[in-house]
Amino acid sequence: MVPSGHRHHRFACGRHGGHGAPQQGRRARLEHRHAGGACRCETGRGVGRTTQRRRPARSIDRLGRCGHRRAPQRRLDPRRIGGLLREAGVRFETHRLAPRVMSGNPVFNERRFTTIANSVPSNEVMTIEGALQKASILFGALLVGMLVMFGAYAGLDASTPGAGMALAGVAATIGGIGAFILVIGLVFVRPKGTPTFAMTAYVGLEILFLSGFTYIMELAYPGIALQAGLVTAGITGSMTMLYTSRVIRVGPRFNMVMAALVSTVMFVYVGQFLLYLIGGVTIPFIHGSGLIGIGFSAIIVAIASFTLLSDFYFIEMGAKQGFPKHMEWWAAFGLLMSVVWIYIEVLRLISKLRD
């Protein structure tokens, strides 16, 4: 048996599906059903209330589906997690928050980078802008030092023929060996904080090596220094544009491939160096100016160029995960190593093309 109020409501209200009135669709019936039991039609009919229990308010979408309204949830900005943990006195374990990251650059190794980041607590976090600013400082110092040494070699050759080239050879040897040993020490010793003296020494050794090597190549191939510099700048700018525009998607799989390729190249170079020291043996074809040698150098230049994408990805992930502020210098140091490698390989490629 239907209660009187509900019966009056059902038969009097033609708008919401009463007898003798056209059906208005499922949405209209749902709106009426969940309106609390009261019918407020424009005709004034059906003012009675039903005996149904009042239901909680629901939202109805354009398809007629209804659901309970929920209060919006307040979300925490991920960029504030590092600062909140440090304010609470909690040691920030970066490797628990950051995804597994690999890179061909020995500086941008996830385990080593995390160990250095957690060695010294800091209230400030790393930013991409800060890393790029510090990288520009290192690049500027390297460029100015190379120009000064290059002019010194040229002036010495002008006064004493052959003396500048001899000095350039000695400087390139000392700088190359010293920079290699220093990089190995920084990567595996993992000093705490920012080793300012070691990074300054690395820039000085690279100035000796690159200025001497470039001067020798310039004497053999006039104009090659400017060509290599322009090509290196173009590659760096192109890789930056490709990464920022997301034309090339960089992720863990890409970084793993790049790490494998760089490891293979380093294995070939170290093997060649050991063979030359032991018996004066060189790997055939790859150092020549033939098609195989040119193709090998072109592949190495491509690998070195794409290594920059992995470096940019690692810096971006470090900034998102809230690495300490002093890691900006390590990021700049890693970028400097990649660009120096590109410049050396471009010099070798151009020299093979001009033979």
Q: Is residue 52 part of a domain?
A: yes
**73: which 2 tokens?**
């949830």
Query: Where do the H-state alpha helices sit in 98-162?
Result: 110-117, 128-159
Confidence of residue 5 (pLDDT cuts 50, 70, 90): very low
In this structure, are 310 and 178 located in the same domain? yes
In this structure, are 219 and 306 located in the same domain? yes
Q: Around Cβ 244, how many Cβ atoms within 10 Å? A: 10
Task: Say yes or no to pLDDT of 93 above 50.
Answer: no
In this structure, are 202 and 346 located in the same domain? yes
In this structure, are 87 and 232 located in the same domain? yes
Q: What is the mean pLDDT of residues 319-343?
A: 87
Which one-letter DSSP state was computed for residue 2? -
pLDDT by residue (tens digit) across 238-278?
Answer: 999 999 888 888 888 888 888 889 888 988 888 888 888 88
pLDDT at residue 119 in the model = 62
Which one-letter DSSP state was computed for residue 324? B
pLDDT at residue 88 in the model = 55
Of 330, 319, 335, 336, the closest CA to residue 196 belongs to 330
In this structure, are 61 and 103 located in the same domain? no
In this structure, are 109 and 176 located in the same domain? yes
Q: Is residue 77 part of a domain?
A: no
Q: What is the largest CA-CA distance in the chain?
A: 120
Any idea which residue has 């790029």 for tokens?
Answer: 132
| Secondary structure tally for the chain: helices H, strands E | 12, 2
User: What is the rounded CA–CA span in Å between residue 171 and residue 149?
Assistant: 10
Q: What is the DSSP string of 212-277?
A: HHHHHHHHHSTTHHHHHHHHHHHHHHHHHHHHHTTSS---HHHHHHHHHHHHHHHHHHHHHHHHHH
In this structure, are 180 and 285 located in the same domain? yes
Q: Is residue 75 part of a domain?
A: no
> Is pTM, for the whole model, over 0.85?
no
In this structure, are 216 and 323 located in the same domain? yes
User: What is the rounded CA–CA span in Å between residue 110 and residue 107?
Assistant: 9
Q: Is residue 74 part of a domain?
A: no
pLDDT by residue (tens digit) across 77-90?
Answer: 655 655 665 555 44
In this structure, are 36 and 137 located in the same domain? no
Query: Which domain covers residue 61, as residue numbers?
Result: 4-67
Q: Around Cβ 66, how many Cβ atoms within 10 Å? A: 16
In this structure, are 186 and 324 located in the same domain? yes
Number of domains in the chain: 2
Please state, for a pLDDT cut of 90, what percent of the chain lies above it.
32
In this structure, are 196 and 57 located in the same domain? no
Backbone CA torsion sign across 101, 104, 105, 107: positive
Backbone CA torsion sign across 238, 243, 249, 255: positive
Confidence of residue 160 (pLDDT cuts 50, 70, 90): confident
Any idea which residue has 């060189």 for tokens?
Answer: 282
Any idea which residue has 């072109």 for tokens?
Answer: 298
In this structure, are 134 and 214 located in the same domain? yes
Mapped onto helix, strand or coil, the DSSP state of residue 322 is coil
